[in-house]
Amino acid sequence: MCDFYAQTAENSTITDIEGNQYIDFAAGIAVLNTGHRHPRLVQAVEAQLQAFTHTAYQIVPYESYVSLAEKINAVAPIDGKRKTTFFTTGAEAVEKRGENCTRTYRASWRYRIWRWFSWSYLHDDGVNRQGGTL
């Protein structure tokens, strides 16, 4: 934990509340890829905010979601049918994997073992939402 409070950041530099500048070697997740406030990223975020902030795609789909999924499907090294969906966190992705596994293996012993492993190891697979039993 740093002994200063960040006030602003630009590219790889953080300025604290006293005006001191630091090189940000420990930037937050996905920040170092483009640096803080990269102009193209800021422009893309501002454009999206002018359109809408957020929808649940499963309820109200939008073109850019479908377009990006199709681009990923086109280059995915998978034979046969491809499906792409996006999640905010790893926990959401693991939970969706559990739901898909539930549909496929619900009656099998493999499903029960997988659910136990997932619940005991990963701690976030939606067991309570799906009835709370293994």
How big is the chain by its Cα radius of gyration, in Å?
Answer: 21
- pLDDT of residue 130 exceeding 50, the answer is no
What's the Cα-to-Cα distance from 14 to each of 17, 74, 76, 99, rounded to whole Å?
10, 39, 37, 41
Number of domains in the chain: 3
Measure the CA–CA gap between 106 and 131, rounded to whole angstroms.
13
pTM of the full predicted structure?
A: 0.56
**Residue 101: band (very low, low, confident or very high) from pLDDT cuts 50, 70, 90:** low
Q: Taking residues 35-49, what's their average pLDDT?
A: 92
Q: Are 115 and 98 in contact (CB under 8 A)?
A: yes
Instruction: Return the pLDDT at 81.
Output: 83
In a domain, 11, yes or no: yes
Answer yes or no: is 33 within a domain: yes
Asked if residue 1 is part of any domain, the answer here is: no
Residue 120 DSSP one-character state: H
